[in-house]
Amino acid sequence: MDHAADCIARCRSLALHTEEPGFTTRTFLSEPMRAVHAELCEWMRRAGMAVKVDAAGNLRGSYPATVPAAPVLFIGSHLDTVPHAGAFDGILGVVIGVKLVELLAGRRLRFGIEIVGFSDEEGVKFGFPFIGSLALIGELQDARAFGLDPNELPSAVAREPSLGYLEFHIEQGPVLESLGLKLGVVEAIVGQSRIELTFKGKAGHAGTTPMHLRQDALVKAAEWIDAVEREAIATEGLVATVGRIEVQPNAPNVIPGAVKATLDVRHRDDAVRRAAVERLIALAKPDHHEVRVDQPAVTLDPHLTSLLARSAPHRMPSGAGHDAMIVARRMPAAMLFLRSPGGLSHHPDESVLPEDVAAALVAGMKFLEDLETRP
CB atoms within 10 A of CB 177: 18
Q: What is the mean pLDDT of the chain?
A: 96
Residue 133 to residue 117: CA distance in whole angstroms: 9
pLDDT digits (tens, 9 = 90+) for 125-154: 998 889 999 999 999 988 888 889 999 999
- Whether pLDDT at 375 is above 80: no
Which pLDDT band holds residue 312 (cuts at 50, 70, 90)? very high
pLDDT digits (tens, 9 = 90+) for 17-57: 999 999 999 999 999 999 999 999 999 999 999 999 999 99
pLDDT digits (tens, 9 = 90+) for 209-224: 999 999 999 999 999 9
- Whether pLDDT at 287 is above 70: yes
pLDDT of residue 159: 87
Residue intervals in the chain for CATH 3.40.630.10: 3-190+297-373
Residue intervals in the chain for CATH 3.30.70.360: 191-295
- 3-190+297-373: which CATH number, 3.40.1190.20, 3.40.50.720, 3.40.630.10, 3.40.50.300? 3.40.630.10
| For the chain, percent of residues with pLDDT exceeding 90 | 94
Bridge partners, residue 63, by sequence: 113
Which pLDDT band holds residue 232 (cuts at 50, 70, 90)? very high
- Whether pLDDT at 1 is above 80: no
Helices (H), the chain: 3-14, 31-46, 91-104, 131-136, 175-179, 217-234, 270-284, 302-309, 323-327, 354-373
* Residue ranges of E strands in 35-180: 50-53, 59-63, 72-78, 112-118, 162-170
Distance of CA 310 to the CA centre of its chain: 25
Which pLDDT band holds residue 374 (cuts at 50, 70, 90)? confident
Q: Out of 52-56, 61-65, 353-357, 370-374, which region has the weakest mean confidence (pLDDT)?
A: 370-374
Give the residue with greater pLDDT, 1 vs 89. Answer: 89
pLDDT (mean) for 357-371: 98
CB 119, CB 131: distance < 8 Å: yes
What is the architecture, at CATH level 2, of domain 191-295?
2-Layer Sandwich (3.30)
